[in-house]
Amino acid sequence: MGLVRFLRGAKLLGQTQTMKGVSLVEHGQSANVEIPTNCTSGNCGACMVTLLSGEVSLPEPLTPGLDEEIVADGARLGCIGIPKGDVDIDILPPI
């Protein structure tokens, strides 16, 4: 499968095996890493994280919580983003 690693900057906060069809927020819970959420539908952006490496699904069309520019900077929504394979996530949104 793969490994989802959660970081804040260079500090590793936790990691867990990639689980098929499971959101980043749920992976975070498995790794004892809290990703804040609010709407859980991809609209508010409260769960925004930064994809450092790997692949995390994006909704089509993009939800109000995302736009093309911030997605290009690595933004993904933890509540609806599904990781595939090995993924490194910074739990802070892109600046």
- The residue count for the chain: 95
CATH-assigned architecture of domain 3-90:
Roll (3.10)
Give the C-alpha separation, 41 to 45, whole Å: 9
User: For residue 1, what pLDDT band results from cuts at 50, 70 and 90?
Assistant: confident
Helix (H, G, I), strand (E, B) or coil at 43: coil
Structure-token match 């450092």, residue found: 52
- pTM to 2 decimal places: 0.94
- How far is the C-alpha of 42 from the C-alpha of 45, rounded, in Å? 6
Q: Which two tokens stand for residue 9?
A: 């900057």
Q: Which amino acid is at 84?
A: K
Predicted confidence at residue 50, as pLDDT, reads 98
